[in-house]
Amino acid sequence: MQFECLTAYTIIYVADVNAATRFYGEAFGIATRFVHDGGDYAELDTGETTLAFASHTLGASNFPNGYTKLSELPRPPGIEIALVTDNVE
């Protein structure tokens, strides 16, 4: 079986989707691609792999057995988000 990936996502579950979207957009100059009307989900225009933010409310519905919020971990999680650009300024 061959798997063809048409769309790739990194989704970070956060307490405030609008604040996270605004922070990453301003800090890195990334335009917002999509914001759900309810404010529980947003995407930044980051190219081939979408960087998205979702609310903990949405996370609870996606993970019915629960998950650990990044803000509640005693140490940073073992993940990285790398943004590649030709112009750092």
- 2-55 pLDDT, tens per residue? 656 566 888 999 999 999 999 999 988 899 999 999 999 999 998 888 899 999
Say how many Å lie between the first and final Cα of the chain, rounded.
Answer: 43
Looking only at the bridges linking them, the beta strands covering 49-55 and 8-14 are: parallel
Give the distance between the most distant pair of CA atoms in the chain. 43
Q: Where are the domains of the chain?
A: 8-72
State the fold for domain 8-72: 2,3-Dihydroxybiphenyl 1,2-Dioxygenase; domain 1 (3.10.180)
